[in-house]
Chains A and B, each alone.
Chain A
Amino acid sequence: MANMKKLKVTYPTITSWQWHATLFSILSDDENAKKWIYSNYIQLRCYNIQEIFTGDDMLFADIMPGSSSLKECPYLITSLMTKEQIESYCGNIIDFIIKTIDLNGYVYGVFDEAKILCDTEVDYKFPHELFIYGYNIDEEIFYVGDFTFKDHYSYTTVSFKDVEKGYEVITAQDDHMFKDDYKGTRGLYVILKNSDTPYYEVDIELIKTTLREYLNSMDTKNHFRMMRNRFDDTIFGVDVYDRVLSRINSQMSEEEPDFDIRALHLMYDHKVLMLERLKYLMANDYMEYDKEILDEYKTVVVNMLAARNLLVRISITGDTGAAVRFKKYFNIAKEKEVSILLKVLSLLDNK
Chain B
Amino acid sequence: MDREKLNFELTELIKTVIPDIDEVDMNASITDEYGVNSISIIRLIVAAENKFGVSFSDYELDLSSYDTFGDLAAAVSEKLELED
A interface footprint on B5-48 (CB within 8 Å = 1, 0 otherwise): 00000000000000000000000000000010111101100100
Is A329 among interface residues, defined by CB-CB distance under 8 A?
Answer: yes
Is A313 among interface residues, defined by CB-CB distance under 8 A?
Answer: yes
Contacts A312-B42, A313-B46; A150 near B37 (Cβ below 8 A): yes
Residue B35 contacts which of A150, A309, A325 (CB distance < 8 angstroms)? A150
Q: Which chain B residue shows the least CB distance to A149?
A: B35
Contacts A151-B40, A152-B37, A154-B35; A309 near B58 (Cβ below 8 A): yes
The number of chain B residues with a CB under 8 A from chain A is: 12
Is A316 among interface residues, defined by CB-CB distance under 8 A?
Answer: yes
A151 to B39 CA separation, bound complex (whole angstroms)? 8
Q: Which chain A residue shows the least CB distance to B36?
A: A152
A74 to B61 CA separation, bound complex (whole angstroms)? 38
Q: Which chain A residue shows the least CB distance to B57?
A: A306
Instruction: Write the nearest CB–CB distance from B21 to chain A, whole angstroms.
Output: 13
Residue B61 contacts which of A150, A151, A154, A309 (CB distance < 8 angstroms)? A309
Q: Which chain B residue shows the least CB distance to A316?
A: B46
Is A120 among interface residues, defined by CB-CB distance under 8 A?
Answer: no
A313 to B42 CA separation, bound complex (whole angstroms)? 6
A150 to B38 CA separation, bound complex (whole angstroms)? 12
Residues in A whose Cβ lies below 8 Å from that of B40: 151
Is A310 among interface residues, defined by CB-CB distance under 8 A?
Answer: yes
Residues in A whose Cβ lies below 8 Å from that of B43: 316
Is A26 among interface residues, defined by CB-CB distance under 8 A?
Answer: no
Residue A325 contacts which of B37, B39, B42, B58 (CB distance < 8 angstroms)? B58
A151 to B37 CA separation, bound complex (whole angstroms)? 8
A329 to B62 CA separation, bound complex (whole angstroms)? 15
Q: Which chain A residue shows the least CB distance to B45?
A: A313
Residues in A whose Cβ lies below 8 Å from that of B42: 309, 312-313, 316
Is A338 among interface residues, defined by CB-CB distance under 8 A?
Answer: no
Contact A313 B58 (CB under 8 A): yes
Contact B46 A152 (CB under 8 A): no
Q: Which residues of B contact A (CB under 8 A)?
A: 35, 37-40, 42-43, 46, 58-59, 61-62
Known pairs A306-B61, A312-B38 / 13 extra A-B pairs, C-beta < 8 Å: A150-B35, A151-B37, A151-B40, A152-B39, A154-B35, A302-B59, A309-B38, A309-B42, A312-B42, A313-B61, A316-B42, A317-B46, A329-B58
Q: Which residues of A contact B (CB under 8 A)?
A: 150-152, 154, 302, 305-306, 309-310, 312-313, 316-317, 325, 329
Interchain residue pairs A-B with the least CB separation, the first 6: A152-B37, A309-B61, A306-B58, A310-B58, A312-B42, A316-B46
